[in-house]
Structure 1
Amino acid sequence: MEEKLLRDVEIYVAELLTKQLSPTNYYHNGIHTRRVVADITELAAKENCTEQDTLVLLLAAWFHDTGYIFLDTGHEEESVKIARSYLKEQNLPQETLNQVEQLILVTKTGSKPTNNLEAIIKDADCGHIASEDYLDISENLLKELNAKNDEELSEIEWMEQNLIFLKNHSFFSDSAKQIWQPKKELNVLEIQNKLHKLTAKENKKDKNTKFGRGVETMYRVQLKNHIELSAIADTKANILLSVNAIIISVALSNLVPKLDNPSNLFLVYPTLILMLFSVASVVLSVLSTRPKISNVAITKEMIKEKKTNILFFGNFHKMNLQDFEWGVDYLMDNEETLYNSLTKDLYYLGLVLNRKYKLLRITYTVFMFGIIISAAAFVYSYYINMPL
């Protein structure tokens, strides 16, 4: 009799929910109802409930969410009406009907159970919080709420609400406390981990709004410009080196050998002036292109405190491979530090360029005045030594 009744109730409720329940009920649907029925079967067995008590619990479980076919808020009262209408036709005793109705009503949010049967159905209605699939089930509930409410909850807001609910929730029956409480605690940890990941992801997204494509383009263009200017400076220095090397070699091969002749003594001073300015130009050109490498040993603390830039080889050349790999990984995980390193790189490139172009300016000035003075000295020497 009881098995047939429960089988008929299952068929009736399943057909009712399939045909009349809103498609936006992603959580409160037949799947949830069957889950509650299964949880009640488990708890009733653990609590050593009688066959009659188990029957009443299962009947209430099957009907407890049928009221959702009419409305969401206050659906328990509608569920009671549906259950009463169907079960009356099965000629159940009034006492059983009253028990079923009371058990359905106790599933209302905020209600407190007054006996063991009410505690069992109350725990079973929230049994999913001890499920291994809690996150997936919770996602369906979020989907349902967002589909029915005007304002959508974000995933972070939903996880925060879940965490508050789980921490404030308590099971009522002894069996649920013993069996499901440890599983619920594991889900609390899983929610905390997911919330941490979501928050970190959101913070990263906020940082990305600060360090967006425009900022990256700025760094890329400026660094490229600085490198090109450095290459131009080196090219100019090489030109001066080549020209003065030619001048020195010509002077040494053609002018200097002729100075031992007494008739050419008047060329001594002009030649010395030319050689002096050429050598000075060569020295200044070499200084402007001479690389400077830092001798400071870089530490992890310096990287964390943004006191150095390991993107430049002159800074990381003394680091071992493991520390360098750690530093690069740290930069990739911390965008603010990464951009700070790029800023330092840009700044110090600017300082190097400033030094190069200052020395180049001095070199060109020395070379220009050297050529003028040398030429004037040669002209003057020829003039005063011309035969009358």
Structure 2
Amino acid sequence: MKDTVLQQAEVFVTSLFERQLSPKNHYHNIEHTRNVLETVTRLAMMEKCDEHDTFLLKLAAWFHDTGYVNVETGHEEASVAMAQQFFKESGLPETDLLIVEQLISVTKVGVVPKTLLEKIIKDADCAHVASEDFFEISERLRQELKYKNETNISELDWLKKNKEFIANHKFYSPYAQVKLQPKKEMNAYELDRKIEKISKKKTKKSKTKKMGRGVETMYRVTLRNHMELSGIADSKANILLSVNAIIISVALSNLVPKLDNASNLFLVYPTLILLIFSVLAIVLSVLSTRPNVSNVNVTRDMIKANKTNILFFGNFYKMSLEDFEWGVDYLIENEETLYNSLTKDLYFLGLVLERKYRLLRLTYTVFMVGIVLSALSFILSYHFLVTVK
């Protein structure tokens, strides 16, 4: 008898929802009803409810949201009316109807359950807060409210509403308090993490939007200045390299062949000084322009942790194409990491420039000292030769 009535209730509610329930009901639909039915069945078994009480709980579960086919606000009262119609057609006793009516009414927000059956259906109706699919189910409710109220609810605002709901929610039945409460607390913890993550991201985006153009101009101008300074340093080094190479060529082709003549021995030391300082200047010029490439194997974790800059070829040349494409996409999606990479680029370009200009300054000093000493040595050697003669 009871199984037959429950089957009739299932057919009645399923057919009712298929024919009359709005497609905007992404949450309050037949799936939610079946979930509540499953939960009340489990809770009734764990609380050792008898067969008749379990039967009444299942009937209340089937009908508790049927009022949504007619109204939004006060749907519990409309659901009670649906249950009354079904009871009348099924010939069930009045005493059972009164209990089912009370069980449906207690699912209303703010109503505190008193009896064990009321506690069970109250817990079952909000059991999604302890579900592994909590965020997915919650999103369905957000979509329902969005389409029904014709207003958009941001993800952050919705998560905050969920946080407030969970903070005010409590389980009433003994089994739910022991088994479902810990799962609810885990969902509350994950909820806090999501809120914190989105809040930080929103704050960062707000800062980026506020000063985005100025920041981009700063990076563009500074990087261009660095590159121009690097080009100037390389040009100066190339000039010194060419000048000293010419000096060495001239010295080797014109002076050195004449040193085997006894009359030209006074030119040995000046020529030697000139060649030594010219060679030093060439070596320093080469060192100042010699490129330096990193040998670090860049990983995705390093990119996420802002420990590298894949905008410079010397860092990404060992990466696979797949990892490099992923890294570029990650930078595009994360503006903070992108700007951090540009900052790293500026910093290391500055270090390279410092090294270039330090070596370039030393090269000019060596070249200047070498020219002066060579000139003085030629003068002194020639003066000594004239004096001796």
Matches within 5 A, 1:89-128: 89-128=89-128
Specify which of 260, 263, 288 is matched with residue 260 of structure 1: 263
How has the CA–CA distance of structure 1 residues 337 and 67 changed in structure 2, closer, same or farther, with 3 Å as cutoff? same
Report deviation, 1:6: 1.9
Paired with 1:353 and 1:142, the residues of 2 have a C-alpha distance of 60
- Give the alignment of 1:365-380 within 5 angstroms: none
Q: Distance in 1 between matches of 2:240 and 2:246?
A: 10
Amino acid at match of 1:66: T
Partner of 1:76: 76
Write the distance in 1 (CA, Å) between the matches of 2:38 and 2:11. 16
Partner of 1:67: 67
Deviations along 1:202-245, one digit per CA (max 9) or x if unpaired, are: 56766876789957766765555454444333322220221111
Q: Does 1:233 align with 2:218?
A: no
288, 306, 309: which one pairs with 1:331? 306
Aligned to 1:247: 250
- Assess if the C-alpha contact under 8 Å between 2:163 and 2:191 holds in 1: yes
Q: Is the 8 A contact 1:288 1:355 kept in 2?
A: no
Bigger drift between 5-14 and 324-333 goes to: 324-333
Matched residue, 2:332:
none
Aligned-partner Cα distance in 1 for 2:300–2:38: 53
Q: Which amino acid aligns with 1:47?
A: E
Partner residue in 1 for 2:313: none
Residue in structure 1 matched with residue 328 of structure 2 by the alignment: none
Relative to structure 1, the CA distance from residue 80 to residue 327 in structure 2 (aligned partners, 3 Å threshold; closer, same or farther) is: closer
Indicate conservation of the 8 Å contact 1:237/1:289, yes or no.
no
**8 Å contact kept, 2:77–2:105:** yes
Q: Which residue of the partner structure matches residue 9 of structure 1?
A: 9
Deviations 1:114-161 (A, max 9, x none): 222221111110122222322322221222223333442333333333
Residues in 2 aligned to 1:359 and 1:260: alpha-carbon distance in whole angstroms:
36
Give the letter aligned to residue 80 of structure 2: V
1:39 maps onto 2:26 in alignment:
no
Cα separation, 1, equivalents of 2:159 and 2:300: 35
Q: Give the Cα separation in 2 of the matches to 1:17 and 1:228.
A: 74
Query: Offset at 1:30?
Result: 0.4
> CA offset at residue 171 of structure 1?
0.6
Report the Cα distance in structure 1 between the residues aligned to 2:41 and 2:304, rounded to whole angstroms: 52
Q: Where does residue 23 of structure 2 map in the other structure? A: 23
Q: Which amino acid aligns with 1:57?
A: L
CA positional deviation for 1:28: 0.6
- CA–CA separation in structure 2 for the residues paired with 1:324 and 1:36: 47
C-alpha deviation, 1:35, in angstroms: 0.9
Q: 1:44 is aligned with what amino acid? A: A
Provide structure 1 residue ranges, at least 5 long, that are not aligned to the other structure: 294-311, 382-388
Match of 1:348 in 2: 351
Which secondary structure does the structure 1 equivalent of 2:306 belong to?
helix
Unaligned runs of 5+ in 2: 309-335, 384-389
- Which of the two has higher C-alpha Rg? 1
Q: For residue 320 of structure 2, what is the aligned residue in structure 1?
A: none
- Counterpart secondary structure, 1:331: coil
* Deviation of the 1:11 alpha carbon: 0.8
Shift of 1:65: 1.0
Alignment: residue pair count = 349
CA 1:107/1:206 → structure 2, altered by over 3 Å: closer, same or farther? Answer: same
Quick check: 1:277–1:366 contact (8 Å CA) kept in 2?
no
Aligned CA-pair RMSD: 4.5
- Contact preservation (8 Å) 1:289, 1:356: no
CA deviation string 1:157-212 (max 9, x = no partner)? 33333334334321111122233223323333443455555556656766876789
Amino acid at match of 1:231: D
Name the residue aligned to 1:188.
Answer: 188
- 8 Å CA contact 2:237, 2:288 repeated in 1: no
Residue type of the partner of 1:116?
Answer: L
Aligned partner letter, 1:80: V
Q: Which whole-Å deviations, capped at 9, do the CAs of 1:82-118 have from their partners, x for residues lacking one?
A: 2223323333333333322222221111111122222
Q: Is the 8 A contact 2:233 2:356 kept in 1?
A: yes
What residue is the counterpart of 1:386 in the other structure?
A: none
Q: Distance in 1 between matches of 2:128 and 2:13?
A: 20
Q: State the percentage of identical aligned residues.
A: 34
Q: Which amino acid counterpart does residue 56 of structure 2 have in structure 1?
A: V
Q: In structure 2, the residue corresponding to 1:114 is in which secondary structure?
A: coil
Contact kept, 8 Å, 2:245 with 2:282, in 1: the verdict is no
1:33, CA displacement in angstroms?
Answer: 0.6
Measured at CA, do residues 330 and 129 of structure 1 come closer, stay the same or move farther in structure 2, by a change above 3 Å? closer
Cα distance in 2 for partners of 1:234, 1:366 equals 17
TM-score by length of 2: 0.71
